[in-house]
Amino acid sequence: MIKTITPTELKKQLEQNKVLLIDVREPAEHKSECIDGACLIPLAEISCEKLPSKSRPIVIHCRSGKRSEAACKKLLAQDPNLEIYNLEGGIMAWKESGCAIKNLGRKVLPLDRQVQLTAGVLIFLGVILGALVSSWFYALSGFVGLGLIFAGLSGWCGMAKLLAKMPWNQ
């Protein structure tokens, strides 16, 4: 079972330099805003070998808590003896609790919203082109729909992986 930590508890631990904070969001998200002192290791790259230290408890965070939970599972599978915590609610909960963030002024849509926007555009485009050009374009909408179903069932989203590699997310 993955241990969790609240933003208030984390703030106290960070002030006393008792934990190592890892941000598993994408580089562009981290550059947009971050918790001071967080070390960036995107979810796709996280491993025990990449951790800067294992001498202190490790707290993992992302935007809302889903990616950080996956990172905790991945790290614990590699080393069950790690003292690791997931920040409840991610950086969103951190901000809602009144804790300070470093705002670097760069605005980027979070990766999950980029996926929603791209999927919506592709599905809409497939329907419009299917109605106006050729019924074969309906397959585009079906393909994107199947991809979303697969992502929901498996937790792996090819579109998110592709969008994470785009220049605006680096």
Residues annotated catalytic, as ranges: 62
Closest CA to 47 of 21, 26, 78: 78
Asked if 62 contacts 24 with a C-beta cutoff of 8 angstroms, the reply is yes
Three-point CA angle 89, 91, 94, nearest 5°: 80
**Phi, psi (degrees; rounded to nearest 5) at 82:** -65, 140
- Which residue bears the tokens 């409840």? 88
Q: How far apart are CA 170 and CA 153, in angstroms?
A: 28
Neighbours of 27 (CB within 10 A): 14
Task: Please list the residues that pair with 34 across neighbouring strands.
Answer: 102
Interatomic CA distance for residues 22 and 50, integer angstroms: 11
